[in-house]
Structure formats: C-alpha cells, structure tokens
Amino acid sequence: MDALPLTALVTRPVTEQFPDLRPGAARFDAPAGTLVHHAVRDVVTRYPARAGADIAHPRSRTVLDWAAGRFRALIGAPGGAVSFGPDMTSLTEGFVRSVAPALRPGDEVMCTALDHAANVDPWRESARRQGAVVRVADLSPSGELTVDAVTEQLSPRTRWVAVTAGSNVLGSAPDIPAICAAARSTGARIFVDGVQAPAHRFVDVAAWGCDAFVTSADKWYGPRCGVLWNRDGRPRSMVARTSDRPGAAHGPGIEVVLAAGMAAEVLLHWDRSAVFRHGERLANLLARGLRMIDGVRVLGRPDGRSPIPIVSFQVVGRSAADVAAILAAEGITVGHGTFGAERALRALSPDVPESLRAGVARYTTRDDVRALLGGVAAIAAPRA
C-alpha cells in the first residue's frame, strides 16, 4: 500500500492497517506484543538514512520533542518529562534507582500482588538496600485489587506506591484515581505501570494524580520501546548513538522513538471508545465461551466488565505449554506460563499458576474467537 495521510489510513479496513496479518492465523499474543501498525512501519522505512541517530543532532531533537508531545497527548499529561528507553523494565529500574536515595530506614514502599515483577522487584531491592519496608496489597478472591486493599497497607511512613493500571494476566484494572487519592492523603507518591493500558483504556495522568507513568509502545501497535513520563523530573532518554565509543548510550535508535510517537498518533486518530468496546466485547465472548467448556477454568474476570481484554485460562489435566503447542499447530497463537505475574495467578490458582493467556487486539475478530474456542474444546474433550 502506498503511503496515505494518517486520517485516511486509520479509516481503512483493519486488514490494511496491519500488513503483517496473515489469513487463517488467529493471534491472541497481543499482551506480549502487538502487530505494528502500517503507519508506524511506514514512518520508519521513510526516515532518511544517516539522518543523525545521535541525540545531539538537530533532527534528533526535533523527533524527540515531537514524539514526547504525542505521548503526553495520549496519556493526558500537560507537562512533565518524557523519557524513551529500550523497554519498560530498564526505565523502571532507572527511575527507582533515581528516587531510592531519598528512602530512609523505616520508610515504606507499597507494591501489589496484581503487578508484574518488573514493577515489584526494583522497588523491593531498593527498599532492602535503604532499610525501607515493603508492604504488599493483596487481591480479592476474584483476583481484583480493591482500593480498600491498598488503603490498608498505607501509613504515614509510605513514600511510594507502585501499582499497575491493568493486569497483564487477569484483565482487571484497579481504580487508579481512587488509589492515587488515598496515597496522596498519606503524603506518598505514585508510580503507575501502564504497559497494557493505552491500547485498552483512556489514560489521564493529570486527572489520576500519579507522579510517574511507564509503558511499552510495542503493546500498543508500535515498536519495542519503553516510554516513561515523570511529573517532576528531567528527561533521561536512552537513545542509541552512532558512536561506539565507551560510555555511549544504549537504547532505541531515534527512528524507533519516531515510531513510538507515530504509534501514539495512531491511537489518538482512532475512535478509541469504539476500539475499547470491540476489545471488551470479544474478551467477554471468549471468557463466556471458555466457561462453557467442561474441563476449562477461567482465572479472574468475575463480572464480565474487566476493561483489559486479556483472558487467562487452564485446561484441566493438560499443561499450558502442551495446549499452546497444539493450538499453534492450528494457527492459533496464545501465550503460556506465568508472564512475570506469578503472584497474581497464584491468588486464584495456588497449586498450578501456569496458565494460557489470550489477549484481544484491534485486529482480533469474532472468527478468531470461534477458532480459539473450537481448538480449546477439542483439546479439553475427554480422550478415549
């Protein structure tokens, strides 16, 4: 397809917006990384060769400023610093290192059982080094993180609350504005892991009242690139340089930063309310269908209103790896394992946390859901 203005491209059929879609393939691996949008791919291929990957190059500064502006628009941030890095994990580790020296013995950091390890381990390690205490907000029996569970762990000694805006395994999304308000009432600051959020729910960091927000563009139709917004800090972009000299920064090239900005622009041009409803409808259809199959257990999603369209499930008597392999042979891609969120899975399945994970993306169809349900039903059927 020739290059089209973005306003025209985003109204084309979904199959034309995602050139990597293949007929007959049902992809449910979006939580690990979505397909790249046509506009994102196009802007990278058309970026002038040798245009200056060094962050000091004038063209690079223009790209950085533009991409940061589009990301601020996507997450509702009127100001603050935006940083780009190789991935969410690297940016989170760097952020935590930057704030850890202010922790004192006896101070408290609060994490949650819903979060990915990437938003728990750095805080736990920094707290250990500083003599601070880590408190953990646990999940409800249905796999949700309630405001009350967070409030119970807050105290006047709480300095930071690290919380997810959307579970990467259970599909649940905490009430972030209420959690931020509760944390601020004790004087704590809030770091939000929003890796899964922009593709599936509106993000408004100004209204939420959080202090930092981190995400990954590859989860919302962009390149592999971490993006972090910090209300008070300075940009700490780890953009790749052309030089191989010792001490040169490592991270995404400037063209990847450009691609991340374009991915944000794509979401801003979509009718996101319609996109989000599409994801919720298909995830609910999938969860209901799985629950109707004997020998299949769906983890979480108790009320059918989980805003993140991710469904984790188990087939009794079959390992998650085996089920995923059988489905893959039929052209159906799902994830399997614990996905860095073993604590959340163990809250609902203490003995066997390994599960299958199916995520709905913009390009997922009802036919894809039917194919997955049919494949799982055949696997779960009693064997003669």
Nearest Cα neighbor of 359 from 322, 382, 334, 331 is 334
CA distance 326 to 336: 12
Q: How big is the CA angle at 164 (ends 34 and 255), to the nearest 5 degrees?
A: 40
pLDDT at 161 over 80: yes
pLDDT at 92 over 50: yes
pLDDT of residue 5: 78
pLDDT category of residue 7 using cuts at 50, 70 and 90: confident
Poorest-pLDDT segment among 120-134, 215-229, 239-253, 351-365: 239-253
pLDDT of residue 252: 75
Beta carbons of 103 and 128 less than 8 angstroms apart: no
CA distance 246 to 32: 33
Q: Mean pLDDT of all residues in the chain?
A: 91
The mean pLDDT value for 116-126 works out to 98
pLDDT category of residue 216 using cuts at 50, 70 and 90: very high
pLDDT of residue 242: 33
Beta carbons of 153 and 109 less than 8 angstroms apart: no
What letter would DSSP give residue 212? E
pLDDT of residue 273: 97
The mean pLDDT value for 305-315 works out to 92
pLDDT category of residue 219 using cuts at 50, 70 and 90: very high
3-state secondary structure 24-35: CCEECEHHHCCC
Q: Which residue is associated with the tokens 């940083």? A: 83
Buried b vs exposed e over 311-332: b needs ≥16 C-beta within 10 Å? bbbbbeebebeebbebbeebeb
Beta carbons of 314 and 320 less than 8 angstroms apart: yes
Give every CB contact of residue 105 below 8 A, 6+ residues apart in sequence: 130, 131, 132
Give, for 228, the enclosing helix (H) or strand (E).
strand 226-230
pLDDT of residue 116: 98
pLDDT of residue 304: 66
| Domains of the chain, residue spans | 6-36+271-380, 41-269
Between residues 249 and 286, the one the model is more confident about: 286
Q: Which residue is associated with the tokens 């859901």? A: 369
The mean pLDDT value for 114-140 works out to 97
Beta-strand relationship, 189-193 and 212-216: parallel
The mean pLDDT value for 14-26 works out to 93
Q: DSSP assignment of 320-346, as one string? A: HHHHHHHHHHTTEE-EEE-TT-HHHHH
Percent of the chain exceeding pLDDT 70 equals 90
Nearest Cα neighbor of 232 from 262, 270, 205 is 205
CA distance 263 to 47: 15
Regarding pTM above 0.85, the answer is yes
pLDDT category of residue 14 using cuts at 50, 70 and 90: very high
Query: What is the end-to-end Cα distance of the chain in Å, rounded?
Result: 50
What is 6-36+271-380's CATH number, 3.40.50.10490, 3.20.20.70, 3.90.1150.10, 1.25.40.10?
Answer: 3.90.1150.10
Give every CB contact of residue 166 below 8 A, 6+ residues apart in sequence: 172, 173, 194, 195, 196, 197, 200, 201, 307, 308
Nearest Cα neighbor of 106 from 158, 44, 63 is 158
pLDDT at 4 over 90: no
Poorest-pLDDT segment among 45-59, 114-128, 223-237, 343-357: 45-59
pLDDT category of residue 110 using cuts at 50, 70 and 90: very high
Between residues 89 and 249, the one the model is more confident about: 89
pLDDT of residue 241: 38
Residue count of the chain, please give it: 384
pLDDT of residue 248: 38
The mean pLDDT value for 64-76 works out to 96
pLDDT of residue 185: 96
pLDDT of residue 100: 97
pLDDT of residue 67: 95
Nearest Cα neighbor of 204 from 293, 78, 118, 310 is 78
Q: DSSP assignment of 49-64, as one string? A: TTS--STTSHHHHHHH
What is 41-269's CATH number, 3.20.20.70, 3.40.640.10, 2.30.38.10, 3.10.180.10?
Answer: 3.40.640.10
Give every CB contact of residue 289 below 8 A, 6+ residues apart in sequence: 369, 373
Beta carbons of 223 and 256 less than 8 angstroms apart: yes
pLDDT of residue 3: 55
Between residues 253 and 256, the one the model is more confident about: 256
pLDDT category of residue 54 using cuts at 50, 70 and 90: low
